[in-house]
Amino acid sequence: MSAAEYPETADIETSSDDYAGRFSGPIGEWMLGVQEQIALKVLSDRPGATVLDVGGGHGQLALPLCHRGFKVTVLGSADSCRRRIQGVVDEGLCKFLVGNVVELPFPAKSFDVAMSFRLLPHCERWPTLIAELCRVSRHAVIVDYPTTQSVNAFAPMLFGAKKKVEKNTRAWRMFGQGEIRQAFRQNGFSQLSLRKQFFLPMALHRMLNKPAFSKTAENLCRFLGLTAGLGSPVILKAVWDEDR
């Protein structure tokens, strides 16, 4: 089956150099660093785990995980999705496969951890994506998503300004905490933990382009509890109910 025939192929764009440009320069490196630090902390209880990264051709987590000893497999919707992770694939640190991101070509419980970043808000069949991640995981599923319980609630009104800043931004959906919790619980993953990445919108940080200011502002918001209450995007870890 060709990528064009797959029902969901948003990862082709998120794995592109054009998309990576959103995280270029010091401000982008800082934002990715925040995400990486949280993700590594979430995975700290499973050193060296087998990890399936669905739609992870952007390499934002596959690369640091490979270099820290995790056994990573990336599934992409097209062969072009491997470009940004080709180095670790060539080194034998990572496997890359082409396949359907909402019909994963793996048996049940094939991986210790299944994860997907940058895909959920662009995936029309997101409940199916969550169900498939849960199916192939032996222990935990980790995803990220923008939430309505945040400053992002005003995002629809600011989409025009966001597009001017980011140039290549696309329409995306936000999620309520309840609908995400329900989707995981329906698949036997009801032990949920949430970590919020930023209080201020990421587009604002890009527009200001002042990493030192952004870091200080976000540290203050985290200290005051604003990020824990109203932060976004959310990094969610869901643990299989029988893994106690």
Is residue 107 within 8 A of residue 78, CB to CB? The reply is no
SS3 66: helix
pLDDT of residue 154: 55
Q: Which residues of the chain have pLDDT under 50?
A: 159, 161-163, 166, 168
CA 48 – CA 236 distance, rounded (Å): 20
Rounded to whole angstroms, the Cα distance separating 111 from 144 reads 19
DSSP state of 175: B
Q: Is 196 helix (H, G, I), strand (E, B) or coil?
A: strand
**Rg over CA atoms, the chain:** 17
Q: Which sign does the torsion angle of CA 217, 221, 227, 228 carry?
A: positive
Whether domain 3-239 has CATH 3.40.50.150: the reply is: yes
Q: How many CB atoms lie within 10 A of CB 70?
A: 23
For residue 148, give the 3-state DSSP assignment. Answer: coil
Q: Provide the pLDDT for residue 153.
A: 61
In the chain, the N- to C-terminal Cα span, in Å, equals 39
What's the confidence (pLDDT) of residue 176?
87
Residue 34: the pLDDT is: 95
Distance between CA atoms of 74 and 64, rounded to whole angstroms?
13
Residue closest to 199 by CA, chosen among 46, 34, 21:
34
Omega within 30 of 0 (cis) for the link into 233? yes
pLDDT, one tens digit per residue, over 184-226 is 999 999 999 999 999 999 989 999 999 999 999 999 999 999 9
Distance of CA 207 to the CA centre of its chain: 22
